[in-house]
């Protein structure tokens, strides 16, 4: 295995992890299940839903993604990414058994304890399901702590839906309501979900705002049209949570690029309430 | 502790430190440009010019290795960089605008996660400041609350005297240790007059007013006129004593290579460019606004200090003549 000479003081030094499993979610979106090579770390690594990590393909560099698996599932972590650049292309070239780097967990997290006893409505679009999927499983694994759970998830087409096996599982469970949708024209002959944009479908299917927390992740255009729908449904900005994504390098509050105004997404985020987001300058 | 150091003993001190195996970094002429660089001998020092780049690279190099990697089959071997290997350093002839920058940088590199690459160099460096006797049109330290004889950040501060030599004053244990270890070179303080200090021309800027305007004017038509000329070359950030944004990149192949921390600049379009193609700061005025906001608002919000020591380097070097001192002064009068 890899015995490394480390002083423990280098905050930029990644942990080594082995790719244990590769799952293709869509033609260009891939999940990697990773196991830390250091046995002690494998057993002790813990994080909270919403936190992110810096994943490295050596020779290509590091990329920032959320930890997409649930903190309740221990022994491994998962990341999920679309291949769009140098690092993600290199991560895509990794095979089962290959080594990669992981630094983290970084950033804040969803205040899950504050959601106990409440209804939850998850609203996600496309590739933005992973940052909520960590919390969805976290909540499902502590199911009795929450009231009704609704998941509204949409993508451009059936092919663009990620975590298809889990969508099926959620659909079959009686203790969670899944509403899946694809944009008009994105449905094939077998499609058993809704057809329409996420904000529209949310308006038709959302639970009452009272005692409910909404967790929203999606492309900026989806967020833009979803927030007014939630407001119309009676959600206050404190009842709505989202995560912000910005280009990052260090993840540690040093390198200076992920700020939105004086808010550093890597340290103050990535999880924010809609109230916090609305207080930020429009620079994201 | 106050002492006198003759010009000749100043030279002897530097040569002694070099002989002792210390890394002595001081202003030095390199192909026509004065830079803070390691000296081979004291004779190389140039003390009458402000170095082109700041002193920050003694702690935060332009490019530095943070680890190396080597692939063997499916395994990867990582080699850590041990900060313990950083050499004991004496940074000599540091201008007040450069010395004052160091405690400002302490804040970002030591809050929460500790960047030992900066902090270990910091621990191992003694800063010998030097008062300025000349200023040019771009100098504006007095406008941002510093001065040509302000010892902020210095462990030992030298003030040039009429007739030669320096008045020395210590400001830390490190400064005292430097004198103790070479006490035969230092004499009792003399009654000589200090050489007239430099007189930067810019008037004092009311930084509270600047902050108050920035707090309320993220969106303002003024940003377009302020920054429309900026070409995004990044020179201002590279010569700045307190700009500290950096990139992390792998240099090498998938088989072996190094991971490095390199200086970066918020003026570059790619700095905030997302993989998706989206860019939150997609136009140069937005990037320049971030530069001003970070320096005079965000860093102050977070650490209670501003990211500017008035060295004027960005003004001297800007290819399109952007003058941060005038910009800040104008903002203070809005």
For residue B313, count CB atoms less than 10 angstroms from its CB and return exposed for 0-12, middle for 13-18, buried for 19 or more. Answer: buried
∠ at Cα B169 (B167, B170), nearest 5°? 155
Q: What is the mean pLDDT of chain B?
A: 96
CA distance B266 to chain A (A): 7
| Chain B residues 163-182 with a CB less than 8 Å from chain A | none
**pLDDT recorded at residue A8:** 74
CA distance B55 to B27: 9
Q: pLDDT band for position A3 (50/70/90)? A: very low
**pLDDT recorded at residue B231:** 94
**pLDDT recorded at residue B82:** 85
Question: Would you call B112 an interface residue with chain A, using a CB distance cutoff of 8 Å?
Answer: yes
Mean pLDDT across the stretch A237-245?
A: 95
DSSP, collapsed to helix, strand or coil, labels residue A82 as strand
**pLDDT recorded at residue A5:** 45
Number of residues that make up chain A:
284
| Helix H or strand E encompassing A153 | strand A149-155
| Chain B residues 271-310 with a CB less than 8 Å from chain A | 271-276, 278, 280-281, 286, 290, 293-294, 297-298, 301-302
> What is the Cβ-side half-sphere exposure of residue B255, based on CA atoms within 13 angstroms?
0
Task: Quick: pLDDT tens for A43-93.
Answer: 999 999 999 999 999 999 999 999 999 999 999 999 999 999 999 999 999
ipTM for the complex?
0.94
**pLDDT recorded at residue A2:** 39
Residue B161, strand partner residues: B194
Distances (CA, A) of B153 to A131, B95, B146: 44, 10, 11
Mean pLDDT across the stretch B37-66?
A: 95
Q: Please answer whether residues A106 and A45 qualify as being in contact, where contact means their C-beta atoms are separated by less than 8 angstroms.
A: no
Q: How many domains does chain B have?
A: 1
- Domains (ranges, CATH) in chain A? 15-106 (2.40.30.10), 112-243 (3.40.50.80)
Q: Return the residue of B nearest to A3 by Cα.
A: B77
Radius of gyration of chain B (CA): 21
Task: Quick: pLDDT tens for B309-327.
Answer: 999 999 999 999 999 999 9
> What is the Cβ-side half-sphere exposure of residue B40, based on CA atoms within 13 angstroms?
2
Task: Quick: pLDDT tens for A53-67.
Answer: 999 999 999 999 999
Percent of chain B with pLDDT over 90: 93
pLDDT over threshold 60, residue B245: yes
Q: Which of B98, B125, B126, B122 lies closest to B110 in space, CA to CA?
A: B122
- Which domain does B90 fall in, by range? 2-332
| Helix H or strand E encompassing A169 | helix A164-172
Please provide the distance, in angstroms rounded to a whole number, between the alpha carbons at the two ends of chain A: 42
Q: How far is CA A260 from the centre of its chain?
A: 20
CA distance A251 to A266: 5
Task: Quick: pLDDT tens for A119-136.
Answer: 999 999 999 999 999 999
**pLDDT recorded at residue B148:** 97
**pLDDT recorded at residue A246:** 92
Mean pLDDT across the stretch B3-23?
A: 97
Task: Quick: pLDDT tens for A164-207.
Answer: 999 999 999 999 999 999 999 999 999 999 999 999 999 999 99
pLDDT over threshold 80, residue A14: yes
Q: Please answer whether residues B284 and B268 qualify as being in contact, where contact means their C-beta atoms are separated by less than 8 angstroms.
A: no
CA distance B326 to B328: 5
Q: pLDDT band for position A7 (50/70/90)? A: low
Considering only CB atoms, A10 lies closest to which of B67, B108, B255, namely: B67
Distances (CA, A) of A178 to A157, A240, B81, B246: 17, 19, 49, 43
CA distance A255 to chain B (A): 5
Q: pLDDT band for position A209 (50/70/90)? A: very high
Percent of chain B with pLDDT over 70: 100
- Both structure tokens of A91: 């991560």
**Per-residue DSSP letter, A68:** -
pLDDT over threshold 50, residue B283: yes
* Contact at CB, B75 and A7, closer than 8 angstroms: no
**pLDDT recorded at residue A283:** 85
Those residues whose C-beta lies under 8 Å from the C-beta of residue A116, and which sit 6 or more positions away, are A145, A146
CA distance B231 to A274: 35
Q: Please answer whether residues B134 and B97 qualify as being in contact, where contact means their C-beta atoms are separated by less than 8 angstroms.
A: no
**Peptide bond just before A270 cis, omega within 30 deg:** yes
Q: What is the mean pLDDT of chain A?
A: 95
Mean pLDDT across the stretch B89-93?
A: 98
CA distance A186 to B156: 71
Count of CB pairs separated by less than 8 Å, A with B:
151
pLDDT over threshold 70, residue B256: yes
Q: pLDDT band for position B228 (50/70/90)? A: confident
Mean pLDDT across the stretch A24-35?
A: 96
pLDDT over threshold 50, residue B102: yes
| Chain A residues 194-233 with a CB less than 8 Å from chain B | 220
Q: Which of A66, A116, A119 lies closest to A243 in space, CA to CA?
A: A66
């Amino acid at each position: 295995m890899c015995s490394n000479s480390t002083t423990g003081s280098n905050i930029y030094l990644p942990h080594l992890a082995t790719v244990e499993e590769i799952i293709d979610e869509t033609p260009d979106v891939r999940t990697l299940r990773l196991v830390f090579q250091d046995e002690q770390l494998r057993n002790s690594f813990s994080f909270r839903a919403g936190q992110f990590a810096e994943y490295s393909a050596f020779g290509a560099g590091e990329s920032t993604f959320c930890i997409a698996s649930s903190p309740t599932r221990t022994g491994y972590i998962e990341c999920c990414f679309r291949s769009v650049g140098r690092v993600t292309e290199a991560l895509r070239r990794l095979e089962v058994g290959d080594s990669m780097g992981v630094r983290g967990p970084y950033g804040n997290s969803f205040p899950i304890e504050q959601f106990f006893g409440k209804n939850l409505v998850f609203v996600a679009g496309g590739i933005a399901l992973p940052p909520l999927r960590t919390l969805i499983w976290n909540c499902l694994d502590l199911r009795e702590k929450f009231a009704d759970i609704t998941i509204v998830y949409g993508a451009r087409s059936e092919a663009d839906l990620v975590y298809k096996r889990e969508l099926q599982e959620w659909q079959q469970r009686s203790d969670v309501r899944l509403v899946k949708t694809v944009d008009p024209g994105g449905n094939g002959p077998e499609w058993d979900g809704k057809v329409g944009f996420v904000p529209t479908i949310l308006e038709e299917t959302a639970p009452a705002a009272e005692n409910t927390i909404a967790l929203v992740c999606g492309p900026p255009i989806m967020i833009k049209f979803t927030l007014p729908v939630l407001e119309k449904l009676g959600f206050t900005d404190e009842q709505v949570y989202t995560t912000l994504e910005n280009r990052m390098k260090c993840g540690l509050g040093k390198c200076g690029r992920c700020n939105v105004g004086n808010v550093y997404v890597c340290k103050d985020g990535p999880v924010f309430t809609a109230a916090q987001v609305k207080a930020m300058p429009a620079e994201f | 502790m106050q002492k006198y150091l003759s010009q000749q003993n100043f030279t002897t001190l530097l040569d002694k430190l070099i002989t002792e195996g210390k890394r002595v970094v001081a202003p030095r002429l390199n192909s026509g440009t004065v830079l803070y660089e390691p000296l081979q001998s004291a004779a190389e020092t140039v003390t009458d010019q402000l170095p082109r780049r700041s002193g920050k690279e003694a702690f935060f190099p332009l490019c530095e290795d943070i680890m190396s990697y080597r692939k063997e089959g499916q395994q990867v071997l990582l080699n850590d960089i041990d900060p313990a290997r950083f050499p004991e350093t004496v940074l000599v002839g540091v201008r007040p605008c450069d010395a004052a920058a160091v405690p400002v940088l302490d804040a970002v590199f030591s809050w929460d996660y500790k960047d030992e690459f900066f902090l270990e160099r910091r621990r191992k460096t003694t800063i010998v400041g030097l008062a300025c006797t000349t200023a040019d049109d771009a100098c504006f330290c007095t406008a941002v609350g510093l001065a040509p004889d302000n010892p902020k950040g210095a462990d030992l501060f030298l003030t040039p005297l009429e007739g030669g030599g320096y008045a020395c004053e210590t400001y830390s244990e490190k400064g005292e240790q430097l004198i103790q270890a070479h006490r035969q070179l230092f004499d009792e303080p003399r009654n000589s007059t200090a050489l007239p200090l430099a007189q930067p021309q810019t008037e004092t800027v009311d930084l509270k007013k600047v902050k108050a305007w920035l707090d309320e004017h993220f969106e303002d038509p003024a940003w377009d006129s302020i920054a429309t000329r900026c070409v995004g070359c990044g020179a201002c950030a590279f010569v700045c004593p307190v700009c500290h944004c950096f990139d992390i990149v792998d240099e090498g192949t998938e088989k072996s290579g190094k991971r490095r921390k390199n200086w970066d600049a918020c003026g570059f379009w790619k700095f905030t460019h997302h993989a998706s193609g989206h860019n939150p700061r997609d136009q140069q005025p937005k990037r320049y606004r971030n530069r001003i906001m970070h320096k005079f608002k965000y860093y102050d919000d977070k650490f209670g200090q501003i990211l500017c020591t008035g060295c004027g380097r960005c003004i001297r070097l800007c290819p399109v003549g952007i003058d941060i001192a005038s910009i800040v002064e104008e903002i203070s009068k809005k």
